Amino acid sequence: MEYIIPAIAIILIFIIIKGIRIVPQAHVFVVEHLGTFKCEWQTGVHFLFPFFDRIAGKVSLKEKVVDFKPQPVITKDNVTMQIDTVVFYQITDAKQYVYGVERPLAAIENLSATTLRNIIGELELDATLTSRDVINTKITSILDQATDRWGIKVNRVELKNILPPREIQDAMEKQMKAERERREKILQAEGDKKSQILVAEGEKESQILRAQAKKEAQILEAEAEKQALILRADAVREQKVLEATGEAQAIELVQQALADSLVKLNNAAPNEKVIQLKALESFAKAADGKATKIIIPSEIQGLAGLAAGLKGIVETDKQ
């Protein structure tokens, strides 16, 4: 008896320690009592009754990523290609996940493959290659609805790779090469066009500038010629003014001298002989050979005859 009681105590302590369970963060334990669902254990410390209770499943609530192998699909235009998908899912109900479906990952993979075939079958090759977002959205919606009863939330589905047949890839590469060459030719033609336009615009601006420069030069030349004509006209006018002023001053001086001589002659009270002599001097100036007819006043006719007689005597003496 003394060994039985300690042994039983040790067994009980072991059973109690063995029954203590700790649920980590972001996990849920599904507990069964005698084969029937009992409860869900959340994060914390729990006690499991031995022989009566058991943990049916340990479920992680973290988001999981599954990369499924490529699936053969056929497009609407009968092109077979390989497409592999990546599914992002999260368990939201541990009880439904444990009891809802057997092998949930296999179920998601098969459901993803069949859904992908249905969607791709409605699209042609070009649309399949350019409509990844549309395909991803449709698959995500369908899988999320189908897996809801399994306690699984499908957050996102991505098409990882789309692999068309080798001959299709070669044709696409040739098409892309032709498209690149076409774009290159277009860009080159546009570059040549822009270059020619720039050259033409430069020539146009150059001609405009040359015309403007020529026009300005002609205007400046006309202005200079105008100024020169004005200056020459001013010089001629000033010259004529100066000549007229000089002539006027000369006439005034002559008249003044004549007036002064008359005044002096009048002041000298000349006799008749002097006056006749002055008249004879004036007659000599009048008869300088330019006049065709000479009218001799009666006052100086006697003097003229005397002068002619004197001239004849002088000539006789010379002979």
Q: Give the pair of three-digit tokens for residue 209.
A: 């500038």
Query: Looking at residue 29, what is its pLDDT?
Result: 92
Element (H, E) at 41: strand 36-41
Task: Provide the residue ranges of all domains of the chain, joining segments of one domain with +.
Answer: 4-60, 64-164, 169-269, 271-318
Q: How far is CA 94 from CA 19, 141, 142, 190, 301, in A?
A: 21, 21, 21, 64, 173
Give strand pairing partners of 159.
85
Q: What's CA 238's distance to the chain center, in Å?
A: 64
Q: Could you give the 3-state DSSP secondary structure of residue 121?
A: coil
Q: State residue 86's pLDDT score.
A: 92
Q: Is 24 helix (H, G, I), strand (E, B) or coil?
A: coil
Tokens of 136: 């991803």
Q: Which two tokens stand for residue 236?
A: 């001629």
- Three-state DSSP class for residue 14: helix
pLDDT computed for residue 90 by the predictor: 92
Block mean pLDDT (10 aa), the chain, length 319: 71 76 89 88 86 87 89 87 91 89 88 89 84 89 90 90 81 83 90 90 90 90 88 86 84 80 68 62 58 56 50 49
Which residues, other chains included, contact 37 with Cβ-Cβ below 8 Å and sequence gap of 6+? 30, 31, 56, 95, 99
Phi and psi torsions of 213, nearest 5°: -65, -45
Strands 20-23 and 44-47: antiparallel
Chosen CATH of 64-164 out of 3.20.20.30, 3.30.479.30, 3.50.50.60, 3.30.70.1450: 3.30.479.30
pLDDT of residue 292: 57
In the DSSP assignment, the letter for residue 309 is H
pLDDT score of 275:
62
Distance (Å, rounded) from C-alpha 177 to C-alpha 196? 28
Six-digit token string for 148: 């809801």
d(CA 282, CA 274): 12
Question: Distances in Å between the alpha carbon of 265 and those of 234, 259, 262, 273?
Answer: 45, 10, 5, 13
pLDDT at 176: 82
CA 248/CA 244 separation, integer angstroms? 6
> What is the enclosing helix (H) or strand (E) of 115?
helix 104-120
